[in-house]
A and B are shown apart, each in its own frame.
Chain A
Amino acid sequence: MKAIDLCVKPRSIEDFKGIAETAIRLGYKALVIETDDPSKFREAGKEMGIKVLARTTIRPHSKTDLLRALQTIKGYDVIAVESKSAEVIRHAARDSRVDVIVLAPTMSRYMDRSEARLLRQGGGLIEFWLSRLLTTSGPRPWRRLRSLMIIARRALAYQASLAVSSCARSLWELWHPRSIVSLLVTLGIPEVHAKTIVYVNPLKLVSSKGISL
């Protein structure tokens, strides 16, 4: 199966090379990189044999911030929105220009039936970053795991599309797709749905952009 990591944040081209090499070993076919200058990463990816897409994550504080940012952003394959305001997230969910909505562990309760309906209207994905499970700062580890559990279970219950990405800064933060599936299964998601979350949903997003792997 073709796996895509929807969020990788290398700090330098050397970091990227390490990430790309390991990602190929883990079975990833494409990486979506968050960077200001995607061209050099695209070239490096092409040399190494892995498709590189560019993404940006905007962090608006209000609805006007969101609309202003969406009007100015150009040249990215994937546009993600992360906000601590429920109002902003609701607007982003409805907007067809927004591809991904990043939910922080503290926003897990936000994932409800009406939000799922809005997401279906806009055609976006809910995203959870696994790097948040590996950090030692912030809420206690079991709380972060619980937030992933709540987001995944609710997304499944209300038929919203969910994606789980590593958001790795270095190769040491990458996750094997099978490990993500197992983690989701351990958290109570049926295996078939866990596989959809890991393999199908990111592929659907990339295909909707007209990019083939």
Chain B
Amino acid sequence: MQPSMLMLIIAIFTSLGLALGLMLLLYIVHRYDQRLRILEAQYSRIIDWNKRVSYALAKALESSEADEVLRRLRRKARRRYIVFVVLSEEKYSPETLSKAIEEKVKELGGLLGAAEANVQLVYYDLKRDVGILRTNYHAKHLVLAALSLVRRIGSNRVMVIPLATTGTIKRAKVIASQIPS
């Protein structure tokens, strides 16, 4: 065999080998790409599923919170009775005093706070200046703070001293009756 023939055969085999290698490489890349796409699809499916699960959990939590709110709404409104004594330079009618307290509650808590508090003067002893206020359980602190801000009625100085807070008017009246004049 002539050397040129041998070289030609070697060249053909080499190029065939290279072509095959290239095809193999392209095949591997193609398979890798396919696999990557499958993995991406699976990953996005998992993310999507996770989103759905967390949304469902949030909704379940919301509904349980809503249930709790509903349960609270169905319950009878809890009240608090605040027994107080008034120190003043002058005697006031229950209406005047009640108006002054309501004004301060509105000033401190705003209209919504006043609506929530629903302050009512349920008892007032003019002789001893002892009174009982009824308010919502959740607005107890607002009313107590507002009472301490009542410092003047007209031009006279006043001080409203909270003595006790009770859950029933019966107990509040017992406490009020024990206060000396």
In the complex, what distance in Å separates the CA atom of A25 from the CA atom of B161?
Answer: 9
Is B86 engaged at the interface, CB distance under 8 Å to the other chain? Answer: no
A47 to chain B, nearest CB (A): 21
* Number of residues from B at the complex interface, CB < 8 A: 18
For A57, what are the chain B residues with a Cβ–Cβ distance below 8 Å? none
Main secondary structure of the interface of A (DSSP, over half): helix
- A185 near B151 with CB under 8 A, answer no
Q: Which of A26, A134, A179 has the most CB of B within 10 A?
A: A179
* Complexed CA–CA distance, A191 and B147 (Å): 18
Q: Are A176 and B157 in contact, CB atoms less than 8 angstroms apart?
A: no
Q: How large is the interface on A (under 10, 10 to 19, 20 to 34, 35 or more residues)?
A: 20 to 34
A171 at the interface (CB under 8 A from B): yes
Number of A-B residue pairs at CB separation under 8 A: 47
Cβ–Cβ < 8 Å partners of B147 in chain A: 179
Inter-chain contacts of B161 with A (CB < 8 A)? 25-26, 176
User: What 0/1 pattern do residues 31 to 43 of A give for CB contact below 8 A with B?
Assistant: 0000000000000
Asked if B141 is at the interface (CB within 8 A of a chain A CB), the reply is: yes
A191 to B108, CA, bound (A): 18
Nearest-neighbour CB distance to chain A for B92, whole angstroms, equals 15
Q: A150 on the interface (CB 8 Å rule)? A: no
Assess the A182–B141 pair: CB atoms within 8 A: yes
CB pair B142–A186 under 8 Å, yes or no, is yes
- What distance in Å separates the Cβ of B107 from its nearest Cβ neighbour in chain A? 8
In the assembled complex, A84 has its CB within 8 A of some CB on chain B: no
How far apart are A9's CB and chain B's nearest CB, in angstroms? 17
Compute how far the CA of A180 lies from the CA of B157 in the bound complex, rounded to whole angstroms.
19
The 8 closest A-B pairs by CB, nearest first: A179-B148, A182-B144, A183-B145, A182-B141, A185-B141, A172-B157, A182-B145, A186-B145
